[in-house]
Amino acid sequence: KSEQSDDVGAGGLQWITERHVACVFLLDTSGSMADDNAIGKLNEGLRVFKSQTVNDSTFDEHTKACIDVALISFGPTVILQQDFVPVSSMNPPVLTAGGGTPMGGALNMALDIITEQKARYNELGTPYFRPWIFCITDGKPNDDYLAATQRLKQMENEKKVLGYCVGVEKFDRSMMASIFNPERIFELANLNFPALFKFVSSS
């Protein structure tokens, strides 16, 4: 490893000479997420993601420090709950459900902060994997999400981002397949985050 690999860069970025990945979680907090306690399962999913990733014995400490996580909730408004931090510093919020489902606005915010984070990596000379978006939802957007969908698909085609839909129980798979690549739609209950990280990182 480089002697500088444990330096801390701008914004608290660690191991700046190692390859990083930016991950944005889009968290559906709309009113329909109160059904079947979907919001509780979303909150638990975030905790599981952190514990699985931090406690995975095949990830060494600097690998964990290179997974940069941001959290965005949507419903009734779009809120940046947490800007990018290493996964070990992630503080999963306890979210509640209410209001509409501005998924398009959340997607646009995610693509904006990913673009900013990639610029930060480039400024520091930090290599990076293609950033990932994980949208945890019941799949019922009710804002103007079509323009954001086109932007996501264009950035995916340009290999600038990978979007994943993580559906809670009884989610609208057909609706989500109009936004996300059908091959990247998963069910939250069956998702092993570290296995997915390793698969994407090696592909």
pLDDT of residue 6: 44
| Domains, the chain | 10-202 (3.40.50.410)
| Predicted TM-score of the model (pTM) | 0.90
For tokens 């902060």, the residue is 113
Q: Is the per-residue pLDDT at 7 higher than 60?
A: no
pLDDT of residue 153: 98
The tens digit of pLDDT for each residue in 75-122 reads: 999 999 999 999 999 999 999 999 999 999 999 999 999 999 999 999
Does residue 76 have a cis bond before it (omega within 30 degrees)?
Answer: yes
Q: Is the per-residue pLDDT at 61 higher than 60?
A: yes
The tens digit of pLDDT for each residue in 134-169 reads: 999 999 899 999 999 999 999 999 999 999 999 998
Q: What angle separates helix 193-202 from helix 38-55, to the nearest 10 degrees?
A: 60
CA-angle at 167, arms to 93 and 42, nearest 5°:
20
pLDDT of residue 170: 86
Mean pLDDT, the chain, whole residue set: 89
Specify whether the CB–CB gap between 177 and 50 falls below 8 A. no
- Nearest partner of 71 among 56, 55, 87, 57, judged by Cα: 87
For range 24-42, the mean pLDDT: 94
C-alpha 168, offset from chain centre? 15
For the chain, state the CA radius of gyration.
16
- Strand 185-187 and strand 21-28: pairing? unpaired
Specify whether the CB–CB gap between 92 and 50 falls below 8 A. yes
Binning pLDDT at 50, 70 and 90, where does residue 1 land? very low
For range 40-52, the mean pLDDT: 90
C-alpha 64, offset from chain centre? 15
